[in-house]
Structure 1
Amino acid sequence: MPLTPTALREGINRVAPSVLEATSAPGALVTVGVKGQPLLTLPFGVADVSTGAPLTVDHTMRLGSLGKLLVSAAVVKLADAGRLQLDEPIDTHLPFPVTNPKGGTITLTKALAMLTGAATDGYEWTGTPEPAGEYVKRELARDATWEYGTGASRFVDSADTGQWRSSSFMYQVAPLVAEAVTGMPLGHYAKAEIFDPLGMHDTAWWDSPNWAAVRERCTTGHMLFGQHATPLPWMECAPYHSVGVVMTTSDFTKLMLALMSRGGVFGDNVVHTILEPRTTARSDVNVGLGVHTVGNPDAKDYCIRAVGHYAFGWWAVSLGYPNADTPFCVTVCTNLADQTDVFNPPEQYPFGILAYEIASWIRDGKVDSRGLGDRSGSESYVMGLVAADRFAGLMGADLRKEEIDAMADGTRPLGRRPAVDFDRDLFVQGFLDMRAAVRDRRVEEFLATDCPVGGVFRKLARKAWGSKNFDEPAPVRFWLHQLER
């Protein structure tokens, strides 16, 4: 049974504040778009920690590399109209050469799929960007990165190797081609041909006619150091089309829904060209043009994914499921970048935790917001679950009740004071509940239905301990999987 908008809203309102609290995230914008229904956008937290100003639905965010999909959509749309060719040399319409000194031919397709042989992001920061064409021409001729003053070449191998390497600098070349064939800034072309027709009125690049209005409503970005959030100064970047877009999560969700609908602004050819896998970034992630795709294109859980990061101050992800019973998209942006592990998979960070959890609710048709009222209770209970899993599940040890009590009574914090207190009774209860589930051989069923702490709060407990993966309690399944091979 599909989720009602009311149930979805209530679930997000219950879970999102806990995610922000547990991860020390200043704020988040969450948008859910379900085909045929109005968008649901919910704000949480603050726009700036130094002022405490609340984040609202009217705020915009810096969505970083999510803007690459905007670039690819505009370029592929022009190619579909016959105004340029994706597989011709990228400098065909440019007044300067764009070549890889290590060999191979750079095309628009390779630039949009990050297959040019360049391996640096080229995030050169500036107060006011110069015209992108002047910047790209100069930096290509210089062929040296700014990172750490090394002066290393931007290119590490030939453009013909087919090796995926992130390069926001080379992505910036594609908009120059679009500008050459249209005779106008990409911000103007995209607004007229894509943004306005889709109702994306809160989206802008530095060269967009509505830049000032969209920019002035943007949140402050923050670096997160443990539990300290540090607000960042406003800075622009030289490759401003590639990573510098400012927009709302609502607007990006509109774009994703249009991409999944294959009609209106985007026809079948445009959609197919954008989503066609060009290579792989990881074993299960295919690289399209401005997006990644995960899974079998015919499966219900097939996912179109875009991930964005800007200036170590914002992180965002958008997940689209075109094959779900009712196609939908979830977009989440937080105004922070956690410095614990800067480039982990999105599932490890607050924006990813929220997006994947909400998406699972929609796909399953039910909200899982089970929790014990506060972080102290949930974290203590999950400690008991994990301890029992190790003893009863992995080692088959049947501890006596007095031994479990002794473990709980002897628990002490080490180092700095923990964010939440320890509840010894809930630790014991978690241990006993998991042990019973192991004995009855129903761990999966217990976690899915009877456990009083749902999946998202179990993840948050593990993240509070510094965990880098969120496998459910039951690592014994890992060993079982090895035996099954």
Structure 2
Amino acid sequence: MTSPLDSTALNAAIGAVHRAGMPGLFAEVRDGDEVWRGAAGVADVATGRPVTADMRHRVGSVTKTFTAAAVLLEVEAGRIGLDTPIGQYLPKLVPGERGDAITVRMLINHTSGLAEYLPYAYPSLKAYPALADTGPQSLDDHRFTRFDPTALIEMGVNAPAVGVPGGAPGVYSNTNYLLLVQLLEQVTGTACEQHITRNVIERAGLRDTGFPATPHVDGPHSQLYEAWFGMIDPPRDYSVFDMSWVGPSASLISTVADLNRFYRRLLAGEIVSPSSLAQMRRTVPVVSQEGKVIDYGLGLHPMEGPGQGTFWGHGGTVWGGGTLAMTRADGKRQLAVAVNMQRWNRLGSNGTPQPHPIDDALAILYRVAMYG
């Protein structure tokens, strides 16, 4: 299994990511009762304010594990059927034959065939892999836009389908999770943010995790620098941003310590039941937003290390920020890392992102953190 925590190697690895070009990053790695927390670089490139390991951070689609857990708790209570068509709950949002064919499970594991709404909400941004004609103007145009979630869902539902319901591989789409938010609100009669807070965040005992009430991040935090594939040079701070563009499917704010606590308790069967956890770990092939085929369960995906066991967790990005949280299946070894710049790879002549030293440095950090 993994070696004990090597603080010297971890400090060197996190420092190397900063030296490769990341303005700032911070992480927590756990091995049983051993804990290492580290940070490298700056939270503000203008002032030189350093990042610290206890900062709050927008964790993006890591939120999806919380949303999936909330849905599965309602499945356990008998208020939602995992294999019930979404049209039985939300016929106006997913009407007709598609509503009859797409199940709740297909929304959670991204096999619904529903398209991503983001290219329609942000007209100057296009999805992978056709990036050559994109530009960052929409980010500035919509910094304070208050999106209507049902309008975003309509964009995704009305867009050309990316697959047939239940087909393989699925295609990762935020439209799926906005529908799950609407489902939770319908069956519980409670705003999704409040429901997830009460039933998942508080159940996990998280003290520094919550949904934003304003475009700002409360508490100590880093600026978030978006490079948009070299088109924003120097990278621009988007830490102040109205998160209604993803809502409770990807807007959570947390800390690396809270994320490790959450995944440790989830994989121990302390958030959802063991049978629900088994459902979460049933994977299907899904095309990620980067165009890669990954294994994806119900709000969880695995990472394998040769001879080291399977790690489960989720990654997430927002404009300018990124997060990865992974926990070994036995709950002993954990990594949560946050970075304060996104889309650092410039585009090649074919319009696809090119390798960058940050990629290799992060891979080494992940390897040292998870496998020793």
> What TM-score results when the alignment is normalised by the length of structure 1?
0.62
Distance in structure 2 (CA, Å) of the matches to 1:70 and 1:251:
12
Measure how far apart 1:284 and its partner are: 8.1
1:137/1:348 CA distance change after superposition, 3 Å: closer
Distance in structure 1 (CA, Å) of the matches to 2:231 and 2:328:
33
Measure how far apart 1:11 and its partner are: 2.6
Distance in structure 1 (CA, Å) of the matches to 2:273 and 2:28:
24
Alignment match, 1:175: 181
2:28–2:256 CA contact under 8 A, matched in 1: yes
1:285–1:294 CA contact under 8 A, matched in 2: no
Distance in structure 2 (CA, Å) of the matches to 1:50 and 1:114:
40
Distance in structure 2 (CA, Å) of the matches to 1:305 and 1:163:
20
Q: Deviations over 1:107-139 (max 9, x none)?
A: 22111111111232527345153453x434653
1:28–1:351 CA contact under 8 A, matched in 2: no
Alignment match, 1:291: 300
Q: Give the match's secondary structure for 1:82.
A: coil
1:212/1:167 CA distance change after superposition, 3 Å: closer
Q: Give the match's secondary structure for 1:172.
A: helix
Alignment match, 2:333: 328
1:61/1:101 CA distance change after superposition, 3 Å: farther
| Letter paired with 1:87 | D
Measure how far apart 1:357 and its partner are: 2.3
| Letter paired with 2:146 | P
Distance in structure 2 (CA, Å) of the matches to 1:101 and 1:344:
41
1:76–1:273 CA contact under 8 A, matched in 2: no
Distance in structure 1 (CA, Å) of the matches to 2:353 and 2:108:
21
| Letter paired with 1:27 | G
Aligned CA RMSD, in angstroms, stands at 3.4
Distance in structure 2 (CA, Å) of the matches to 1:113 and 1:69:
11
| Letter paired with 2:17 | V
Alignment match, 2:326: 319
| Letter paired with 1:274 | M
| Letter paired with 1:353 | I
Distance in structure 1 (CA, Å) of the matches to 2:146 and 2:363:
30
| Letter paired with 1:302 | T
Q: Give the match's secondary structure for 2:171.
A: coil
1:31/1:226 CA distance change after superposition, 3 Å: farther
Identity percentage of aligned residues: 19
The aligned runs of 1:324-403 (5 Å cut-off) are 327-337=332-342, 338-340=344-346, 348=359, 350-361=361-372
Measure how far apart 1:272 and its partner are: 0.7
1:321–1:328 CA contact under 8 A, matched in 2: yes
1:188/1:241 CA distance change after superposition, 3 Å: same
2:55–2:221 CA contact under 8 A, matched in 1: yes
Alignment match, 2:132: none
Distance in structure 2 (CA, Å) of the matches to 1:119 and 1:289:
18
Distance in structure 2 (CA, Å) of the matches to 1:47 and 1:253:
22
Alignment match, 1:122: 118
- Alignment partner of 1:113 out of 109, 114, 120: 109
Alignment match, 1:20: 18
Distance in structure 2 (CA, Å) of the matches to 1:100 and 1:232:
43
Alignment match, 1:199: 205
Alignment match, 1:303: 311
Confirm whether residue 161 of structure 1 aligns to residue 167 of structure 2: yes
Unaligned 5+ runs, structure 1: 144-152, 362-485
Measure how far apart 1:68 and its partner are: 1.2
1:39–1:250 CA contact under 8 A, matched in 2: no
- Alignment partner of 1:218 out of 218, 221, 234: 221
1:350/1:177 CA distance change after superposition, 3 Å: farther
Measure how far apart 1:269 and its partner are: 1.4
Q: Give the match's secondary structure for 2:86.
A: coil
**Which structure's residues are more often helix, by fraction?**
1
Larger C-alpha radius of gyration, 1 or 2? 1
Confirm whether residue 135 of structure 1 aligns to residue 135 of structure 2: no
Q: Give the match's secondary structure for 1:139.
A: helix
Q: Give the match's secondary structure for 2:203.
A: coil
- Alignment partner of 1:89 out of 85, 89, 104: 85
Measure how far apart 1:232 and its partner are: 2.2
Unaligned 5+ runs, structure 2: 122-141
| Letter paired with 1:317 | L
Q: Deviations over 1:325-384 (max 9, x none)?
A: x721111111111133687899935444312222121xxxxxxxxxxxxxxxxxxxxxxx
Distance in structure 1 (CA, Å) of the matches to 2:181 and 2:162:
23
Measure how far apart 1:77 and its partner are: 1.7
1:16–1:44 CA contact under 8 A, matched in 2: yes
| Letter paired with 1:307 | G
| Letter paired with 1:258 | R
Measure how far apart 1:214 and its partner are: 5.2
2:87–2:99 CA contact under 8 A, matched in 1: no
Confirm whether residue 251 of structure 1 aligns to residue 258 of structure 2: yes
Q: Give the match's secondary structure for 2:272.
A: coil
1:302/1:58 CA distance change after superposition, 3 Å: closer
| RCO higher in structure (CA 8 A, sep ≥6) | 2
Q: Deviations over 1:201-231 (max 9, x none)?
A: 2222246xxx789545332111344996513
Q: Give the match's secondary structure for 2:366.
A: helix
